[in-house]
Every structure is written in C-alpha cells, then in structure tokens.
Structure 1
Amino acid sequence: MSSPPPLEEEVYDMSGARLALTLCVTKAREGCEADLDALERMFAKLGFESTTKRDPTAQQFHEELKKFQEAMDARQDFVSCAFVVLMAHGREGLLKGEDGQMVELQQLFEALNNKNCLALRGKPKVYIIQACRGEQRDPGESLGGASPGDDQLALLTTDTVQTIPTYTDALHIYSTMEGYIAYRHDQDGSCFIQTLVDVFTEYQGPILELLTEVTRRMAEAELIQEGKPRKVNPEIQSTLRKVLYLY
C-alpha cells in the first residue's frame, strides 16, 4: 500500500508589520531587566515594532492590551502577526499587577482573538508568559517509560463561505507547567526568557520546531533552589492553522 503524498505546507504571510507588546511587573522581581534587554534584542533582530510597559497594575494590563488592539485595527498597512509578552508574579490562570491585584490571563487573551481584533483575524498571535503557575517544584525524574498516545480528533470541513473559530491562530508559551513554579535568577534573568531568546535569534525554522529546542535546552538545565536541584520546562499550547516562520 502506497503512502499518501505529503501535505502541502501552508505558511503564514509575514511580509507585513510585526508588532510586539511587553508588559512587565518589575516590583520584587529581580533579574527581570535582563529579560527585558534580551527581548528587546530579539524583537529588533526579528524586525518587530516593539513597545514595553513597566509595572502595570491589574487594570493597566487590560488597558494596554486594549490600546494595542485598537492601534492595530486603526493601521492602514497590513499586520502580519503580534507577540505579547506578559511577565509578573502569578498563579494558575492569574497574573499579579504592580498594585497586588490579580488579572485573569484568559481575559487578556480575549483582546486579540479573531472576534475582537480585526487586524489579527486569521493571523498569528503569540503570547509569552513568564510567571509562576503554582507552588509545585519539580525535582526531575530518571529518563524511561512509554510515551502516551495522541488523541485522535475529527476535522469537520464545509464547502460554504469559509469561517474560522474564534480562538484559532494563537500560540501560548508558558514558562512552566500548570501548577509549578517558574524560576528567575536575580541577575541573569529567567531560564525561560533567556533560552527562548537564544534559540529564536540563533536558528531559523518553524516556530514550533524552535520551541522544541527551547524545551530540550530547559530540560537539560540544572537549576538550584535553596540548595536543591530542580527541573523546569515550558508548556506550549497551539491553535495555529499554518506554519509560522519568524524570518
């Protein structure tokens, strides 16, 4: 029996404007300036128009995302994609503003979805979240054991006017797994941001392949907290419909 032909690669059009917004709480987060410097370097190399806002309150997280969305929808030129970097203390599903109040991540994601941001409808929206998602700590495990199988999903198509789901074309990149701590060095910055910037500026390829390399490097890193070795890895959630290249 012959194998089916390979699928034709569909690629996001990255010829238009690339926009980035970074919202970072610096209060009681030593080392975050190193992360901001690294991100600025990365966005410059990748050709992004980048804006950074320091120490937003919980309400200002909402307001800055709304301004970002409105500015994109008001542009006359073509927008290819947007990156949003969110850095703060947090727990699962929540970020802590400079004022100590919490903001729901899901509400922040809503601002740029296919319903609420026309400029990004069907365009890639990449969220990078450097924040704790709980208090658990991972001491690591010995390599071995079987991998779980993939779930099979049914794909429905229609011959009528094309529509897309409200929440497609998004990529959420978390610095750690659900329920776990995210680590940050008080001088060198976070393992996650520093590794991601290194990979995104050193290599060319589909972004999901680059994120696999980020995961590999973080998995190999040995982090020490309170004298004990710890492990950490990012979690990637994707609803991308096409292949995303940053170059």
Structure 2
Amino acid sequence: MSDPQPLEEESYDMSGTRLALTLCVTKAREGSEEDMEALEHMFQQLGFESTMKRDPTAKQFQEELDKFQQAMDARTDPISCGFVVLMAHGLEGQLKGEDGEMVNLDDLFAVLNNKNCRALRGKPKVYIVQACRGEHKDPGEVVGGDEVMMITKDNTKTIPTFTDFLHIFSTIEGYISYRHDKKGSFFIQTLVKVFTERKGPILELLTEVTRRMAEEELVQGGKARKVNPEIQSTLRKRLYLQK
C-alpha cells in the first residue's frame, strides 16, 4: 500500500483589491452600531475597501447587492475577494428589511456566484449573516459529567457555479441569535476579535470563533443559553485575509 499523498497547500491569490459590503438594519436592533464600528475596524485592518449601508428595506438588500456586483464587474483592476455582511432580524432563509418585508437569503447569495459575477469567478466570496434563524433556544448539554462551559468536452476550463463560497451564520438553523443592546452581537464581536488578532486560514480562524462562543455563557431571561455559528464552505483553496 503506497503512502498517502500530502495535501496541496494552494491558497487564493489575495494580492488584488478586496471589497466589502455591509448591510445592517439598526431599527429595533440595539447594539448594531457597535457591530458596524467593529466591522469597519476589521475591514480597515484587513485591507478591504468597505461600504456600509444602514437600514435597507427588503428590496434594497437585493438592490445594494446587485450594485455591488455590477460595480465589481465594471472595474478594470483585479479583485481578489468579495466580503458581504448581512445583519437584520430574520427567520430561516430570510432577512427582514427595515420596512418589515422579507428577502430570501438564497437570492442574495446568488448575486455573487460564478455565473452572475465575472469579477469574482473562481475568487472567494464570503457572506456573514448576523440574524436569527428561528425561535429555538439552546440551554446547553452536559459532557462527561461537567457542564459545557458557555459558548468540458472542448478542453475549455470550467468551474462549478457554486464553488468559492463561504457562508457564515451567527447561529444554526432554527435557533435565535444573541445581540447585546450596548456591546453588540456576540457573534460579530467574537469574529472581529479573532480575525484581527489571529493569523491563519479563515476556516481555522472560524474554528477558534466557534470555540470561544462555545465557552461563553449567555443569560437570557435569567436562564443560561448556548449558541454557536454555522459554517458552510465550498472553498477550493486556503483563504488568508491577513496581508
């Protein structure tokens, strides 16, 4: 039996322009401004050109993503990465705009796929979603007797339509997401801290985000709650955000 071959350490080329778009509903979402401030600091440190839009309606969520895609496709300089942050009240698969109407996440995700966005074809596209995905609450479970510490035929090279995506949700399907009215969202604040203080491929950094969130104890209505993010990846290479 032959020895297993080592994994290739290929990574995405991040030498080009990095672009970020944040769409955040602040209405009835105390602590949102703290999240916006933290994200702006993170994007500045990581070398992203960042655009932030407050209080989009459901229609404007779609319109702003479309404009983001069109502006990228119109540029002549190489683009290395697109980073989108979506923050609002939500349900599974949907976000609520400032007007109370809903927009489907799948429609927002589709805007930057390899079919619809030429500039990001084969490039990493990161979506962060800070929103509830249901009403369930996780009280945590016992491990080992101890409480879990809170927390083509013509030789044309082609690429699958849905590769090079990274979707990062603040909570798992069906569960609520936590936001402090003064300190901001538990997920966003933890993610920013890890992304700005640590170096390494993004999936390893997200493992650290999950670990830190799992170790924390959140209290809601006098009851302890647990929460963890969910990470969905079709990345083909290692993604390093640090320069």
Which TM-score band (shorter chain)?
Answer: over 0.9
Mapping for residues 105-184 of structure 1, pairs under 5 Å? 105-143=105-143, 160-184=155-179
Task: Give 1:8 deviation, angstroms.
Answer: 1.8
Match of 1:72 in 2: 72
Match of 1:58 in 2: 58
Distance 1:140 1:158, change over 3 A: farther
1:164-190 Cα distance to aligned partner (Å, 9 max, x none): 111110000000000000000000001
Unaligned segments of structure 2, at least 5 residues = 146-151
* Structure 1 residue identity aligned to 2:182: Q
Distance 1:227 1:160, change over 3 A: same
In the alignment, the residues of structure 1 paired with residue 144 and residue 72 of structure 2 have an alpha-carbon distance, to the nearest angstrom, of 47
Task: Give 1:142 deviation, angstroms.
Answer: 1.1
In the alignment, the residues of structure 2 paired with residue 144 and residue 109 of structure 1 have an alpha-carbon distance, to the nearest angstrom, of 40
After TM superposition, what 4+ stretches of structure 1 lie above 4 angstroms from structure 2?
none
Question: Which residue, out of 208, 211, 217, partners 2:212?
Answer: 217
In the alignment, the residues of structure 2 paired with residue 166 and residue 100 of structure 1 have an alpha-carbon distance, to the nearest angstrom, of 32
In the alignment, the residues of structure 2 paired with residue 164 and residue 182 of structure 1 have an alpha-carbon distance, to the nearest angstrom, of 34
* Structure 2 residue identity aligned to 1:42: M
Instruction: Tell me the percent identity.
Output: 77
* Structure 1 residue identity aligned to 2:241: L
1:60-80 Cα distance to aligned partner (Å, 9 max, x none): 001000000000000010000
Match of 2:17 in 1: 17
Match of 1:148 in 2: none
1:25-47 Cα distance to aligned partner (Å, 9 max, x none): 00000001110000000000000
Task: Give 1:159 deviation, angstroms.
Answer: 9.6
1:60 alignment partner, SS class:
helix
Mapping for residues 197-212 of structure 1, pairs under 5 Å? 197-212=192-207
Match of 1:239 in 2: 234
Match of 2:148 in 1: none
Match of 1:96 in 2: 96
* Structure 2 residue identity aligned to 1:163: T
* Structure 1 residue identity aligned to 2:114: N
Task: Give 1:7 deviation, angstroms.
Answer: 1.8
1:138-162 Cα distance to aligned partner (Å, 9 max, x none): 00011259xxxxxxxxxxx989332
Distance 1:159 1:217, change over 3 A: farther
Distance 1:140 1:159, change over 3 A: farther
In the alignment, the residues of structure 2 paired with residue 158 and residue 244 of structure 1 have an alpha-carbon distance, to the nearest angstrom, of 30
Task: Give 1:4 deviation, angstroms.
Answer: 1.6
In the alignment, the residues of structure 2 paired with residue 143 and residue 130 of structure 1 have an alpha-carbon distance, to the nearest angstrom, of 28
Unaligned segments of structure 1, at least 5 residues = 146-156
Match of 1:42 in 2: 42
Are residues 1:185 and 2:180 paired?
yes
1:240 alignment partner, SS class:
coil
* Structure 2 residue identity aligned to 1:171: L
* Structure 1 residue identity aligned to 2:199: Q
2:112 alignment partner, SS class:
coil
In the alignment, the residues of structure 1 paired with residue 125 and residue 236 of structure 2 have an alpha-carbon distance, to the nearest angstrom, of 12
Task: Give 1:5 deviation, angstroms.
Answer: 2.6
